[in-house]
Structure 1
Amino acid sequence: MTPEMASLLQQHLSGAPAGDTLAQLVGDDPELAAIAQLLSRREQQLEAQLREEELEEERPLDIPLAAEDDRVELLRDQVASFADDVTRIRDTLELVSAALGACPTCLGADDVCALCHGRGVPGSLPPDPVAFDQIVMPAVRAHAFTRSRTGRGLDQENPKTETPDWSTP
């Protein structure tokens, strides 16, 4: 190996540009000049590609992250809404169970309930008087009124005594 080739190899391994040493090796040989020119172009392309990749790594990914942030925020809002629904349902169950004198967790319907083991059916506990007046008494009055009009229960001729449709707001 010639000293020029050793120098070129050493420059290549160190990462330094080898343009000047390559030009010296080529000298006046036209075939080597063409190869040297191709190598030089390829080196420039690779350097440009490397710079571009480095810029891409530094560039923040705002657009996809912004869309992701929007989805995360939407999910957080939905979870908060579900949590509010669960709180309202629990509050309602607590009020109804207090009015009926039943287990506040399962109304006595769950044999593996940690609180009552399925024995907390309505009437198994003393009802809360305020909750009873608020929840049960309106239903008792409506039932009594309906029975007094027909003597049996439902008034078949009066559609207003039918069970209301709660599915529509």
Structure 2
Amino acid sequence: MNDALLDALRQQAGRDAAGADPVLGLLSQMLAQREQSLTRDLEARGQEEGHLEAEARAAQEARRLEDLRGLEEEQRQAARLARLERLRFRLETLEGGLATAQARLDDLALALGACPNCWGEDPECRLCRGRGQPGFLRPEAAAFRRLVVPALKAASRHPEPRAFAGEERPAPERTTL
């Protein structure tokens, strides 16, 4: 019911109260109760809407936080994958260097007649049982000419060890085996 109609009925009831019209008084009382009931319902709905809006905002904030957590996890995962890729590359580089160094040591062992597995340092070695120091086997001639002969020639020309490029002090004195 609109407010103007309600006010008109109240004024009429006030005038008729003097005349004591019981029907109009009862109608006025019912309208007042109805108005109070509607006011309470509106307030309750307003509070409920406020709660619903607050819940909607909270749910929206929760979704936003979850999205942010997801983005952070994706960034962490991408960083882990990048770090893993760098480690994988480093491992491949180290494995390649190790294979190269092992091949050089094998060639040198052949040139010196040493056990290629342990160089005579492992008493449980299956090949030499710890006796495979340089000279244990007959040196392979091609490897000896390629690796040892140039070193012997250089040693006879330069009795002092030469410093490597960028090295300020002379290399430490080496002892023979």
Taking structure 1 as the reference length, the TM-score comes to 0.60
Distance 1:114 1:165, change over 3 A: farther
2:95 corresponds to which residue? 83
AA at the equivalent of 2:144: F
Q: Quick check: which has more Rg, 1 or 2?
A: 2
TM-superposed deviation, 1:114: 4.3
The answer for unaligned runs of 5 or more in structure 2 is: 1-36, 168-177
Q: Give the one of 95, 102, 127 matched to 1:115.
A: 127
Name the Cα RMSD after superposition.
Answer: 3.1
The match for 1:162 is 160
Q: Could you tell me how far 1:43 is from its partner in structure 2?
A: 2.2
- In structure 2, what is the Cα distance between the partners aligned to 1:129 and 1:83? 29
- Aligned residue for 1:161, secondary structure, equals coil
Q: Which residue of 2 aligns with 1:28?
A: 39
Letter in 1 for 2:56: Q
Q: What do the CA deviations read for 1:93-126 (whole angstroms, capped 9, x no partner)?
A: 1111001111002211233434323111111111
Opposite residue 149 of structure 2, the aligned amino acid is M
**Which one-letter code corresponds to 2:99 in the other structure?**
T
Count matched residues.
Answer: 130
Separation in 2, partners of 1:86, 1:168: 25
Cα drift, residue 61 of structure 1: 5.4
Shift of 1:162: 1.3
Distance of aligned partners of 1:64 and 1:54 in 2 relative to their CA distance in 1, 3 Å threshold: closer
Change (3 A) 1:88 1:37: same
Q: Match of 1:101, as an amino acid?
A: G
- CA deviation map 1:123-164 (0-9, x unaligned): 111111101111222233344x35xxxxxxxxxxxxx53112
> Which moved further from structure 2: 71-80 or 54-63?
54-63
Query: TM-score scaled by structure 2?
Result: 0.58
Q: Which amino acid letter does the alignment assign opposite residue 47 of structure 2?
A: I
For 2:67 and 2:102, the matched residues in 1 are separated by 54
State the match for 1:23 in structure 2: none
Q: Percent identity?
A: 28
Distance 1:78 1:42 in 2: 53
- What is the distance in 2 between the residues matched to 1:103 and 1:127? 11
For 2:164 and 2:144, how far apart are their aligned partners in 1? 22
| Residue 128 of structure 1, aligned match among 140, 156, 167 | 140
